[in-house]
Structure 1
């Protein structure tokens, strides 16, 4: 196995270990602090950026390995068609060499493919755990648990998505501002109505006085 495929295999083992660490049941507080640290650590952020570049190279290796498997399969098909005009010993040696190349190509294809596939699973699992932690923290807040509203919960909520409670508070503040605006408009309209009523009453009073005179 070449050096870069050895590194891909090492990355696959690391992904398996990380996946096992993600699915290990832990207490809610410990898991929340752990994910808050992961979401805020600059070292982890740089590591994730480097892994994205690494996965691009692994994707290139995967495409190359698929191409090699296809070409080896074509060579085997050619051996099967042209085997009658070649010596048995020479044909057997060449066929074994092609079979070995096919085995290594398929091994590299599966290695790169499983590494890429597991990276997608890890990313999705991580996001789902963040969402679960956010929902659990929201339930604790709604149930009246004041300890659930700590800094770690805010970090987890920011790492996953905007918190539902924060969104509701923003909507409530917006509606409060709208209500205050409507109250001011209503007060202004009421004043205008009273002013118009006083003007109409004054005009009617003047007309009645003129009639009496």
Structure 2
């Protein structure tokens, strides 16, 4: 294997390792710190820029390996036709082995470059999806009022700010509780008023009975 294909193989192994790290279940806070560092670090940004250039060269190698596989396949088919015509010497010995070896190496290089490019697309898409999921989780926590960064003043701010729904729910619960308390007080007052009315009516009946005597 030549030097550049060895580098492509090393890059493929690195991509596989990074993909496994993305799939490892980690606590949300730790994962958020890691992805925040990756998305905001200038060093990572420069590395991503050079990686894009590297993948362009790998794409060129992939196209070249496809061309080599096609040409070797034509040679194999031509040698097979010569063998069918009776020229067995053309398809035997070192020439046939050399053609088969070139076919094997060309296919190996094609698969190596192809898998590296394909895994890079999957890795990039997985990274973007994880970032999007983390942003949605942050928004959900903010709107539910459970975010640690959300202050009480932000909960009582203008409509549309994070935590306002939770503040409105708290206000609504307090209003409901006050309403229930008022209902209980009204019932107690009504009960006391009825008792006083009954006592007053009883005193009036007693007074009229005494007058009639």
TM-score bracket for this pair, using the shorter chain length:
0.5 to 0.7
Give distance in 2, aligned partners of 1:69 and 1:89: 20
Give distance in 2, aligned partners of 1:126 and 1:90: 50
Shift of 1:18: 0.3
Shift of 1:87: 5.0
User: Which residue number corresponds to residue 12 of structure 1?
Assistant: 12
Give distance in 2, aligned partners of 1:46 and 1:112: 23
Give distance in 1, aligned partners of 2:100 and 2:64: 18
Gaps of 5+ in 1: 151-167, 170-213
Counterparts in 2 of 1:64 and 1:45: CA distance versus 1, 3 Å:
same
User: Which residue number corresponds to residue 106 of structure 2?
Assistant: 105
Counterparts in 2 of 1:30 and 1:119: CA distance versus 1, 3 Å:
same
Counterparts in 2 of 1:48 and 1:33: CA distance versus 1, 3 Å:
same
Counterparts in 2 of 1:149 and 1:40: CA distance versus 1, 3 Å:
farther
Q: Is the 8 A contact 2:80 2:91 kept in 1?
A: no
Q: TM-score, normalised by structure 2?
A: 0.68
Give distance in 1, aligned partners of 2:43 and 2:66: 34
User: Which residue number corresponds to residue 178 of structure 2?
Assistant: none
Shift of 1:36: 0.5
Give distance in 2, aligned partners of 1:55 and 1:44: 16
Gaps of 5+ in 2: 152-159, 162-213
Give distance in 1, aligned partners of 2:5 and 2:50: 17
User: Which residue number corresponds to residue 49 of structure 1?
Assistant: 49
User: Which residue number corresponds to residue 79 of structure 1?
Assistant: 79
Q: TM-score, normalised by structure 1?
A: 0.68
Q: Secondary structure at the match of 2:148?
A: helix
How do 1:26-65 and structure 2 match up within 5 A? 26-65=26-65
CA RMSD of aligned residues (A): 1.8
Counterparts in 2 of 1:93 and 1:63: CA distance versus 1, 3 Å:
same
Shift of 1:96: 1.3
Q: Is the 8 A contact 1:69 1:102 kept in 2?
A: yes
> Which structure: greater helix fraction?
1
Q: Using CA pairs under 8 Å that are at least 6 residues apart, name the structure with larger relative contact order, 1 or 2.
A: 1
* Corresponding pairs, count: 152
Asked which structure has the greater CA Rg, the reply is 2
Give distance in 2, aligned partners of 1:23 and 1:107: 28
Counterparts in 2 of 1:27 and 1:90: CA distance versus 1, 3 Å:
closer
How do 1:171-186 and structure 2 match up within 5 A? none
